[in-house]
Structure 1
Amino acid sequence: MEFNDSMLMRREAEVNLSTESDKQWMTLHCGQCNTVVGDGLSICGELTPMDSIMCLKVTNDVAVSDEMEVHKGDMAQCIYSPLMCRCCHSTVGKVIHSLPARLAVSRSVFLLNKANISCYILNSSSMVKASTLTFDLKPLRDNMREVHQKFKTQYERMLRVKSRMSDRRAACGKVL
């Protein structure tokens, strides 16, 4: 669905996600009715074999089906419950309850099927299909290094300010 002159919808070719942090500022929508089903801050990665976005939480507009199904194909031996959009009742993903040990990272995480999800990118005010984006996140170790470096830089800046304030107090004390 595309609205040629709409502020909400732009062609996916016009969307420019220049940095990894841009990916965080988005909302996830049902591909059928555009109901918000999640946001970029809850995304914890992508499960490529299932073409799914891994989310820690979803909105109240997503219902976990009471039915449990057995996955077929490359994800055989997986037991899951479908995730349904409460507004249009279409399937938007699944929650896996039981799976082989090699895939344990995706147990009890909301898996939104990229084919059934659209993303509203807040920074560019555009709506794109989730299948056109990647949701790979930096490893935690890289994030921790980055935070540590920022903290260290801020700490050094605070020490310089404190030193300048001490010098000014000492100078003011000599004048009086």
Structure 2
Amino acid sequence: MATKQKMVKHKTKDTNVTFNASSLNSSVIEKKLFAEREEDGDDGPVVFYCGKCRLTVGDSLSWDGSEDGENQIRLKTVTDNVQFGNESHVYEVNKLSPCLVVDLFCRGCRSVIGLVYTSTPKSMDNKRFTFCLNVANIESYVLGSGTQMLTVEGLKELPVTLEYRGSVDQQLKEMKMLMVSMAQRLEVIEAGLEERSDEV
């Protein structure tokens, strides 16, 4: 009996591990997605990927919102790299709002990256059947945010193109013909020198 109570206690403890507090905040991600885009209009979509194994799990084109208090973002769709857990369990956002949820796992490393609410109180209906990803377990990359550029002056070696390779091949052929020609002339000169030494 004591073992069963320990197991139940342990299971209850694990159910709320999904959204532990982290240094990241869902409002930071939301600001990146929308505030900067409004200011300059240049930011591209954001790609979300597993923080552990770097497999892509979704993108901002399916954005559905964020929950600051629970440190999660909501997406309408995710990639095939996200897998559902086998069983639903109770998750309590607060004492008055118990919910039934199914954990979401990364296909690559099997770490929990979020959950799906399958049953909620009426006040939380907006969360039901959306993919709620834990900000602490994912990373993000804004498409088009790369700033490093390659310049010809910075190259130590020119890239090998077909034209460049053809030019090098032609130069090698010419050098080979020149070497053969010089070797033949050298043979003639050596033969002439040998004849003169024989005559003397």
**TM-score (norm. length: structure 1):** 0.58
Q: 5+ unaligned residues in a row in structure 2: which ranges?
A: 1-31, 148-200
Across the aligned residues of Structure 1 and Structure 2, the Cα RMSD in angstroms comes to 2.3
Q: What is the aligned-residue identity percentage?
A: 33
Q: Which amino acid aligns with 1:86?
A: R
Matched with 1:88 is 109
Would the alpha carbon gap of residues 115 and 22 (structure 1) be closer, same or farther in structure 2, given more than 3 Å must change?
farther
Runs of 4+ in 1 over 2 A off after TM superposition: 15-18, 20-24
Would the alpha carbon gap of residues 107 and 23 (structure 1) be closer, same or farther in structure 2, given more than 3 Å must change?
farther
Matched with 2:99 is 78
Would you say 1:60 and 2:80 are equivalent positions?
yes
Are the counterparts in 2 of residues 23 and 40 from structure 1 also a CA contact under 8 Å?
no
Segment drifting more, 103-112 vs 43-52: 43-52
Deviation (angstroms), 1:19: 1.8
Q: Which amino acid aligns with 2:36?
A: S
Q: 5+ unaligned residues in a row in structure 1: which ranges?
A: 1-14, 127-176
- CA distance in 1: counterparts of 2:88 and 2:131, whole angstroms: 15
Would the alpha carbon gap of residues 19 and 33 (structure 1) be closer, same or farther in structure 2, given more than 3 Å must change?
same
1:109-148 alignment runs, 5 A limit: 109-125=130-146
**TM-score (norm. length: structure 2):** 0.51
SS for the counterpart of 1:104 is: helix
Q: Which has the larger share of helix?
A: 2
Would the alpha carbon gap of residues 22 and 99 (structure 1) be closer, same or farther in structure 2, given more than 3 Å must change?
farther
- CA distance in 2: counterparts of 1:100 and 1:22, whole angstroms: 39
Matched with 1:19 is 37
Would you say 1:107 and 2:128 are equivalent positions?
yes
Matched with 2:155 is none
Matched with 1:174 is none
Q: How many residues align?
A: 112
The correspondence for 1:35, drawn from 55, 61, 68, is 55
Q: Which amino acid aligns with 2:75?
A: C
Deviation (angstroms), 1:24: 5.7
Are the counterparts in 2 of residues 24 and 40 from structure 1 also a CA contact under 8 Å?
no
Superposed CA offset, 1:56-79 (max 9, x none): 000000001111110135274100
- CA distance in 1: counterparts of 2:94 and 2:133, whole angstroms: 18
Deviation (angstroms), 1:48: 2.3
Would you say 1:47 and 2:67 are equivalent positions?
yes
